[in-house]
Structure formats: C-alpha cells, structure tokens
Amino acid sequence: MKSVNVIELKKMMDEGHDFKLIDVREQNEYDLVNLGAELIPVSEVGNNIDKFPKDKKVVVYCRSGARSGQVILALETQLGYDNLYNLEGGILAWAKEIDPSLPSY
C-alpha cells in the first residue's frame, strides 16, 4: 500500500497539486476536526465508489491510518485501484506534526 506522510501532504496542499483528499471517519469525528476533505465514512464507501477517482492521486485518511488503510486495501484488491495513498498516522499525526492547535481525541 502506498502512503504519504503529513509533511508530504502539507506540501501537496501548499503547492496546489491535483489530488483528492477523502476522510473515512464518522461525521462526529469530522465535526470535531478535519482537513477540509470530502467525508465518506467507512460504512458508506461502497455506495460512493464514484467519488474515488482513478485518474488522479487520492489521499485517504482517518484518525490514525488504520481505517483508511482497510478502505484502500479493499479498493485495491476488489476494484483494482492503484492511485490511493494512506495518510501515515492520520489526523493524529497532522495535529502532532503540522498543527498542534487541533484537538486530538
């Protein structure tokens, strides 16, 4: 599974790279803290496959990287995706390394 760390993601955002950012946490987690990604909770991924483009880099994240990793593994093995990247450490790593003002939970 391919991945990016929070420093690489911050650079991609700052430089305006063409990629999609998807958050697979639950609505209450997203409401607490988010990176402006499209919210598609794990339980809704199957009904929103069309929101995972195959023609550009897609970075998927959750709280720690576990749920997003499961989503990526499923999409890669079942649907042949090869452009998905897991955010290492998830939003917890972002809060720790990029923006310590964000709440950790």
The catalytic residue positions are 62
In-domain check, residue 33: yes
What domain range includes position 19?
A: 2-97
Q: What is the CATH number of the domain that holds 82?
A: 3.40.250.10
Which SS3 state, helix, strand or coil, does residue 14 take? helix
Model confidence at 85, in pLDDT bands (50, 70, 90)? very high
In-domain check, residue 103: no
In-domain check, residue 30: yes
Cβ neighbours of residue 47 under 8 Å, at least 6 residues apart?
A: none
Ramachandran class of 25: left when φ > 0, alpha when ψ lies in -120 to 50, beta otherwise = beta
Q: In this structure, how many other beta carbons lie within 10 angstroms of the beta carbon of residue 98?
A: 16
Residue 15 pLDDT: 98
Number of domains in the chain: 1
Find the mean pLDDT for residues 37-49.
98
* Contact predicate 86/68, CB 8 Å: yes
- CA dist 11 and 1 (Å) reads 21
Residue 73 pLDDT: 98
Find the mean pLDDT for residues 49-76.
98
Mean of the per-residue pLDDT values for the chain? 97
In-domain check, residue 52: yes
Residue 102 pLDDT: 94
Quote the pTM value. Answer: 0.97
In-domain check, residue 105: no
